[in-house]
């Protein structure tokens, strides 16, 4: 019989704070009864106030401020703000600018998902210490069986083992100190064979070097990573990147990264998943929202390569179009005054911190709801919408994964499904990169080097930008008055996925996902990390919507 997550009869509270290997400051407060989570709260622990800081500034500058919402999902806020102001000033940007923005976003998807799988998520599944028990010869055989393009040797795995052994023998474990897979007693929640553990440890290191290349590719068009500096309202600025040698450099780096994704990331994901198949029945949610991404026409959401849409109650037969009017934000269980839900246009933001372990009001995040329902966003939402709409590249990739794991589509609604969907989104995006690059090269060869359309700042205007970031649905909303920012709002993926309860008491998606999760060892609750990390939390993004200075209502809180 396949190994399963061990069960316990523990009852009591389990708190994880800080949740590490994420962006930002997150706390999970769970109540466990007879070995299963029966109550849970997701609490964000930092507030920064970016929206307040933006008021009165030049709308063109917004992208630089908002990009500093997050350095992990870098670029996405810069793009979203730029789209919002493009929209407000009604400028039609050149085709090449759209393509260049897509290429940088594509690089961000490749980079972000690769890093998430190996460096932020893998240690929830991979027992580094157990890699010492592996046979390097068998490990090489296992690894090479997963892709015809792998040519790994026993010596390479032996070298990694030696490195891990030196680490353990030294007694100084650095970043692995007190990891949940360590302890006097083996943590039975980890059950990969030793060879799979060793293989994953080696690829953890290889991926560390590969992500440098993915970021470097992004910088050829984006100027630098983290924090690109090439977008402007009206287009992009990077004429240097249109030179054939720069495009060739981008292509060479990107091809190398894509090969790694195909030959290592995806096969490793499937291999690890095949050992943890019981996690296809743990950690699911019900509703999903995606804004879609990679437009051919910046002004038409339906032109996006991944389509926008909403799925309710896991019903893949019905994908609704996304209607921003159905969005409300709740504060009844957040550190704000009041308990009424508002459409963001009429949002009220009045901070009122209570205390750390308050069960009633417990997070700096608000709780966005679509038609009154909590919706998960991120790769799983994007993949489900694309799959349900019959987007062929996505359908093919989903079918390939389901067939490999011998599970049906219902398995997608789980922690494992969420992690697999991230790989699928990455793979499908990777396969599209060359199409965009060819289009850019074709335009340049045809003499079209336009990257920017001039425009004039209106006295009054409003606009919105929608982005499907690697972590999900992101929107920025701007109101311009007298040529300055009168109001600016960000509604970000992590409030959708990791926000608290709403006025109706409905759990946020990560809370819903954690309910019923088995906890074997309350001192090493890796099961909580598995599900929380599968959402790829980015908390800094989620916690900037409060005016702490004045405690005043935001008259404009949109989407």
Partner 1 sequence: MKISVGHGLADAEKRLEESGVSRRDFMKFCGIIAATMGMGPAYATEVAAALTADNRPSVIWLHNAECTGCSESILRMASIDGKTAYIDTLILDVISLEYQETIMAAAGEMAEKALHDAMKKPYLLVIEGGIPMKDNGIYGKVGGVTMLEMVKKAITSKNCLATIAYGTCAAYGGVQAAKPNPTDAKGVKAVFPKSLVINVPGCPPNPYNLVGTVVAAIMTVTKKAPLPALDGDLRPTVFFGATVHDQCERQPFFEKEQFAMSFDSPEAKKGWCLYKLGCKGPSTYNNCPTKKFNPLDKGVGVNWPVQAGHPCIGCSEPNFWDKMSPFYEMEK
Q: Based on the shown chain and the rule CB under 8 A, indicate whether residue 181 belongs to the binding site for partner 1.
A: yes
In sequence order, what are the residues at sequence separation of 6 or more whose Cβ sits closer than 8 angstroms to the Cβ of residue 515? 37, 38, 39, 40, 507
70 among known catalytic residues = yes
Q: Based on the shown chain and the rule CB under 8 A, indicate whether residue 453 belongs to the binding site for partner 1.
A: yes
Measured CA to CA, the distance from residue 545 to residue 74 in angstroms comes to 19
Q: Based on the shown chain and the rule CB under 8 A, indicate whether residue 458 belongs to the binding site for partner 1.
A: no
In contact, 472 and 308? CB cutoff 8 Å: no
Q: Based on the shown chain and the rule CB under 8 A, indicate whether residue 68 belongs to the binding site for partner 1.
A: yes
Nearest distance from residue 172's CB to partner 1, in Å?
4
Question: Residue 282 to residues 104, 395, 472, 528, 533: CA-CA distances in angstroms?
Answer: 34, 23, 21, 11, 14
Which has the closest alpha carbon to 264: 426, 383, 123, 394?
426
In contact, 492 and 156? CB cutoff 8 Å: no
Q: Based on the shown chain and the rule CB under 8 A, indicate whether residue 456 belongs to the binding site for partner 1.
A: no
**What residues between 114 and 133 interact with partner 1 by CB under 8 A?**
115, 119, 123, 128
Nearer Cβ to partner 1 (26/381): 26
Nearer Cβ to partner 1 (211/517): 211
Among 37, 41, 113, 234, binds partner 1 (CB under 8 A): 234
Q: Based on the shown chain and the rule CB under 8 A, indicate whether residue 441 belongs to the binding site for partner 1.
A: no
Transcribe 360-419 into DSSP letters. SS--SS-EEEETTB--B-SHHHHHHHHHHTT-HHHHHHHHHHHHHHT--GGGGSSHHHHH
Among 92, 358, 450, 553, binds partner 1 (CB under 8 A): 450
502 among known catalytic residues = no
Q: Based on the shown chain and the rule CB under 8 A, indicate whether residue 407 belongs to the binding site for partner 1.
A: no
Exactly one of 42, 290, 494, 497 is catalytic; name it.
494
Nearest distance from residue 315's CB to partner 1, in Å?
35
Among 8, 11, 153, 237, binds partner 1 (CB under 8 A): 237
73 among known catalytic residues = yes
Q: Based on the shown chain and the rule CB under 8 A, indicate whether residue 76 belongs to the binding site for partner 1.
A: no
Among 33, 155, 240, 323, binds partner 1 (CB under 8 A): 240
Nearer Cβ to partner 1 (164/559): 164
Q: Based on the shown chain and the rule CB under 8 A, indicate whether residue 343 belongs to the binding site for partner 1.
A: no
Among 34, 141, 145, 205, binds partner 1 (CB under 8 A): 205
* Residue tagged 């190398």 (tokens): 256
Site mask, partner 1, residues 81-120, x = CB under 8 A? ----------------------------------x---x-
Exactly one of 101, 113, 471, 501 is catalytic; name it.
471
Nearest distance from residue 384's CB to partner 1, in Å?
28
In contact, 154 and 144? CB cutoff 8 Å: no
Nearest distance from residue 165's CB to partner 1, in Å?
9
Question: Residue 191 to residues 270, 345, 442: CA-CA distances in angstroms?
Answer: 15, 49, 50
Which has the closest alpha carbon to 410: 274, 286, 320, 497?
286
Q: Based on the shown chain and the rule CB under 8 A, indicate whether residue 230 belongs to the binding site for partner 1.
A: yes
**What residues between 8 and 67 interact with partner 1 by CB under 8 A?**
15-21, 23-25, 27, 45-50, 52-53, 57-58, 60-61, 64-65
538 among known catalytic residues = yes
Transcribe 340-371 into DSSP letters. --B-GGG----B----TT-SSS--SS-EEEET
How many residues sit in the footprint of partner 1 (CB under 8 A)?
Answer: 101
Q: Based on the shown chain and the rule CB under 8 A, indicate whether residue 359 belongs to the binding site for partner 1.
A: no
Choose the stretch contacting partner 1; rule: CB under 8 A; options: 228-236, 303-311, 375-383, 468-476.
228-236
Q: Based on the shown chain and the rule CB under 8 A, indicate whether residue 481 belongs to the binding site for partner 1.
A: no
Measured CA to CA, the distance from residue 508 to residue 539 in angstroms comes to 14
Nearer Cβ to partner 1 (2/175): 175
In contact, 29 and 357? CB cutoff 8 Å: yes
* Residue tagged 């490749």 (tokens): 110
User: Which tokens hold the place of 84?
Assistant: 């919002």
In sequence order, what are the residues at sequence separation of 6 or more whose Cβ sits closer than 8 angstroms to the Cβ of residue 409? 316, 387, 398, 402
Measured CA to CA, the distance from residue 114 to residue 257 in angstroms comes to 9
Q: Based on the shown chain and the rule CB under 8 A, indicate whether residue 248 belongs to the binding site for partner 1.
A: no
Q: Based on the shown chain and the rule CB under 8 A, indicate whether residue 209 belongs to the binding site for partner 1.
A: yes
Exactly one of 41, 42, 43, 73 is catalytic; name it.
73
Judge if the upstream peptide bond of residue 216 is cis by omega within 30 degrees of 0: no
Which has the closest alpha carbon to 67: 26, 92, 104, 20?
104
Exactly one of 27, 42, 51, 77 is catalytic; name it.
77
- Cite the active site residues: 23, 70, 73, 77, 471, 494, 538, 541
């Amino acid at each position: 019989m396949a190994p399963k997550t061990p069960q316990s009869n523990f009852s009591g509270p389990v708190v994880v704070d800080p949740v590490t290997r994420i962006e930002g400051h997150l706390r999970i407060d769970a109540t466990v009864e007879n070995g299963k989570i029966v109550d849970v709260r997701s609490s964000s622990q930092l507030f920064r106030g970016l929206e307040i800081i933006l008021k009165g500034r030049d709308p063109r500058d917004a992208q630089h401020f908002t990009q500093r919402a997050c350095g992990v999902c870098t670029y996405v806020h810069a793009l979203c703000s730029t789209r919002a102001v493009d929209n407000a000033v009604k400028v039609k940007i050149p085709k090449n600018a759209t393509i260049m923005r897509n290429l940088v976003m594509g690089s961000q998807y490749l980079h972000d998902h690769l890093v998430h799988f190996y460096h932020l998520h893998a240690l929830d599944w991979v027992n580094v210490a157990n890699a010492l028990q592996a046979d390097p010869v068998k490990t090489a055989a296992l690894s090479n069986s997963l892709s015809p393009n792998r040519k790994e040797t026993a010596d390479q795995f032996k070298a990694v083992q030696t490195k891990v052994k030196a680490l353990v023998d030294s007694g100084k474990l650095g970043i692995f100190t007190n990891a949940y897979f360590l302890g006097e007693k083996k943590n039975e929640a980890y059950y990969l064979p030793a060879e799979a553990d060793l293989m994953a440890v080696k690829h953890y290191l290889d991926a560390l070097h590969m992500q440098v290349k993915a970021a470097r590719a992004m910088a050829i068009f984006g100027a630098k990573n983290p924090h690109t500096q090439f977008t402007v309202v009206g287009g992009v600025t990077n004429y240097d990147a249109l030179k054939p040698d720069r495009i060739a450099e981008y292509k060479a780096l990107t091809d190398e990264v894509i090969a790694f994704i195909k030959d290592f990331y995806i096969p490793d994901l499937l291999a690890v998943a095949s050992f943890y198949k019981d996690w296809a029945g743990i950690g699911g949610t019900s509703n999903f929202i995606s804004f879609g991404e990679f437009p051919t026409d910046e002004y038409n959401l339906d032109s996006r390569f991944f389509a926008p849409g909403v799925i309710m109650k896991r019903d893949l037969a019905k994908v609704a179009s996304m209607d921003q009017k159905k969005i409300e934000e709740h504060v009844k269980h957040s550190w704000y005054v009041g308990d009424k839900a508002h459409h963001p246009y009429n949002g009220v933001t009045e901070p009122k911190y209570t205390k750390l372990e308050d069960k009633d009001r417990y997070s700096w995040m608000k709780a966005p709801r679509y038609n009154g329902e909590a919706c998960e966003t991120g790769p799983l939402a994007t993949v489900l919408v694309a799959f349900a709409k019959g987007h062929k590249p996505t359908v093919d990739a989903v079918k390939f994964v389901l067939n490999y794991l011998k599970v049906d589509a219902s398995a997608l609604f789980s922690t494992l499904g969420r992690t697999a969907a991230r790989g699928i989104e990455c793979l499908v995006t990777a396969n599209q990169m060359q199409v965009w690059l060819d289009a850019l090269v074709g335009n340049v060869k045809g003499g079209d080097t336009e990257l920017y359309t001039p425009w004039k700042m209106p006295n009054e205007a409003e606009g919105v930008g929608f982005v499907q970031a690697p972590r999900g649905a992101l929107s920025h909303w701007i109101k311009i008055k007298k040529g300055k920012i009168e109001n600016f709002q960000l509604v970000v993926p992590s409030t959708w996925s990791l926000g608290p309860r709403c006025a109706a008491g409905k759990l946020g998606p990560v809370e819903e996902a954690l309910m019923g999760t088995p906890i074997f060892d309350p001192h090493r609750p890796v099961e909580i990390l598995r599900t929380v990390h599968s959402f790829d939390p980015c908390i800094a993004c989620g916690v900037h919507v409060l005016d702490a200075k004045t405690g005043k209502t935001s008259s404009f809180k949109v989407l």
